[in-house]
Amino acid sequence: MRVCLDDYPRWIHYLPTFFSKNMILKPSIEDVKTIGYYLGKVIVGLGCVMLLPLILGVACNELNPALDFLISAQISLIIGLLLIKLCDTDKDLSWMQGMIVVSLSWLVAMVLGAIPMYLSGHWNSFLDACFDSMSGFATTGLTLVQDLDHMALSHNFWRHLIMFVGGQGIVIVILSLLVKGTSGAFKMYIGEARDEKILPNVVNTSRFIWLVSIVYFVLWTTVLGFVGIAEGMSKGSAFFHGACIFMAAFDTGGFAPQSQNILYYHSAAIEIVTIVIMILGAINFRLHYHIWMGNRREITKNIETVAFFFSVALLFVLVAIGLNQMQVYPHTSTLFRKGFYQFISGHTGTGYGTLYAPQFISDWSQLALVGLIIAMALGGAVCSTTGAIKMLRVGVVMKALFQDIKRVILPDKSIVIQKFHHIRDVFLEDHQARTALIITLAYLALYGIGSLVGMLFGYPFLNSLFESTSAAANVGLSCGITSVAMPAALKITYIFQMWAGRLEFISVFTLIGFFVAAIRGK
């Protein structure tokens, strides 16, 4: 099967065909072995990633935290090596296997990533640690951590590192280094909700994504470090916070080193820098590539940036009118600073905030909240680190709508052609509109399901919708529902939303189908 991704994700059309053929077939032992082999490689890679906070712990004389990471890394390596040994195979991945490796890897990463967190004693239960682990890997930012202000540097670093790894895509990050063949890596690349290749080879694509991320890491950590020093922080603290904030902002995550999030700094300069980083994180890596190659006109022509600009402009007007209704902020400048920061943080899917969670309900009108919820639900660009519906789909759906309106208005015999510009001019085809609409509907359903569960536990509608959208769109802003006191079932619902929202459903559906086939297949 040859899959072309040049203009738009057509792969989705091949998957159901394959899927429906195999749905009734019981997975073979070869399927399980291939999945186990690649899963083992991912787990070994994750164990190696844990060595970074281990080194930091030793360097900072944090011996018990270092032991936490040593234990977690060893558990990961043992499981990974045993899986590789037991499932040893030289077969490449099929589409179904690739999707299942991805969806399982994220669940396994959540559990293994939660081990050092739980051992630190900063989470009340292993479920809470799993919640934060999934929130980190999925770059959401909702948190159940306790006493964050006394957390060891190595544990704090881990919280942000998992956002950095998760933002690039756990599986592709690890497998681009560990898998020899590119075909299997390509299937997992697609499974991790990366719709587009930047370079012809998927391994080179993921390496380019890493190059961009590391160049920005050095640049923006330096900037944030110097801004921190200028704002009165000590040198060590400023650069540590700078590194953590960059990782969480660029990967549109939302964790911060202190419990007050960005409010801790009381700094307009840090807010401005983080806004720039959040927007960079919300831009398509393919667009980054073209900008790096000198094609700056692409910024103004690309359907995603245009859609993002209009969305920001229109929705922020709603938010600003809503905030003005409440008369909480004394000046226009303060209204803009508070309103725009939370808004852009929500729209890019980051979740950084300069407000306490209950203030969304007490200080923001319902209109402002609705504007923010819509922004969170839409998200940033495809092939970026954001979650949610994403701008390309919004643009395509709008174009399809205009096309249909034209068809109705114009004479029957006229041929209506709709074009959009995404790296190059693309003629809009029905299958593109359908794909965009299916994913959009799936997201809307996911937001709705989480809201319903929230309401089942007695939370008001708007609060439930806010928190559910924030979880499913991998944003991380909270209006106060997310707390250690919330019911375990709601925690599990949000974990599912973060997972499904990050992977954009297909690999999750494939995993569910795999288990159904394992039980009911022949």
Quote the DSSP letter at residue 416: P
Q: Which of 107, 130, 108 is nearest to 117 (CA)?
A: 130
Instruction: Give the integer Cα–Cα distance in Å for 404 and 398.
Output: 10
Give the number of other CB atoms < 10 A from CB of residue 432. 22
* Region 229-248 residues binding other proteins, contact defined as CB under 8 A: 231-234, 237
Q: Are 462 and 369 contacting, i.e. CB atoms less than 8 angstroms apart?
A: yes
The yes or no reply on residue 356 touching other proteins (CB under 8 A) is yes
C-alpha span between 481 and 468 (Å, rounded): 10
Whose Cβ is closer to other proteins: residue 157's or residue 250's? 157
Q: Which of 30, 149, 404, 425 binds other proteins (CB under 8 A)?
A: 149
75 part of the interface to other proteins, by CB under 8 A: yes
Residue that has been written with the tokens 């898998």 in this structure: 179
Identify the sign of the CA torsion 13, 450, 341, 307. Answer: positive
Stretch that binds other proteins, among 24-32, 226-234, 379-387, 439-447 (CB under 8 A): 226-234
For 432, list phi and psi in degrees, rounded to 5. -65, -45
Q: Which is nearer to other proteins, 153 or 400 (CB)?
A: 153
Q: Which stretch binds other proteins (CB under 8 A): 81-89, 377-385, 399-407, 438-446?
A: 81-89
Q: Restricting to residues 110-139, which ones interact with other proteins according to CB under 8 A?
A: 119
62 contacts other proteins (rule: CB under 8 A) = yes
Backbone angles phi, psi at 145, to 5 degrees: -65, 150
Residue 150 as a binder of other proteins (CB under 8 A): the answer is yes
* Of residues 84 and 190, the one with the C-beta less far from other proteins: 84
The residue written with tokens 């205009």 in the block is 402
DSSP for residue 459: -
**Size, binding site for other proteins by CB under 8 A:** 52
Alpha carbons 42 and 39: distance in angstroms, whole number: 5
Q: Measured from the CB atom, is 138 or 152 closer to other proteins?
A: 152
Q: Does 489 bind other proteins (CB under 8 A)?
A: no
- For other proteins, the binding residue among 20, 74, 295, 300 (CB under 8 A) is 74
Taking the CA atoms of residue 217, residue 222, residue 225 and residue 229 in that order, the dihedral angle to the nearest 10 degrees is -170
Q: What is the DSSP letter of 122?
A: -
Query: Minimum CB separation from other proteins for residue 72, in Å?
Result: 10
20 binds other proteins (CB under 8 A): no
Stretch that binds other proteins, among 79-87, 343-351, 376-384, 390-398 (CB under 8 A): 79-87
The number of residues making up the chain comes to 522
User: Contact residues for other proteins (CB under 8 A)?
Assistant: 62-64, 67-68, 70-71, 74-75, 77-78, 81-82, 84-85, 88, 119, 149-153, 231-234, 237, 258-260, 263-266, 268, 271, 328-331, 333-335, 337-338, 354-356, 358-359, 362-363
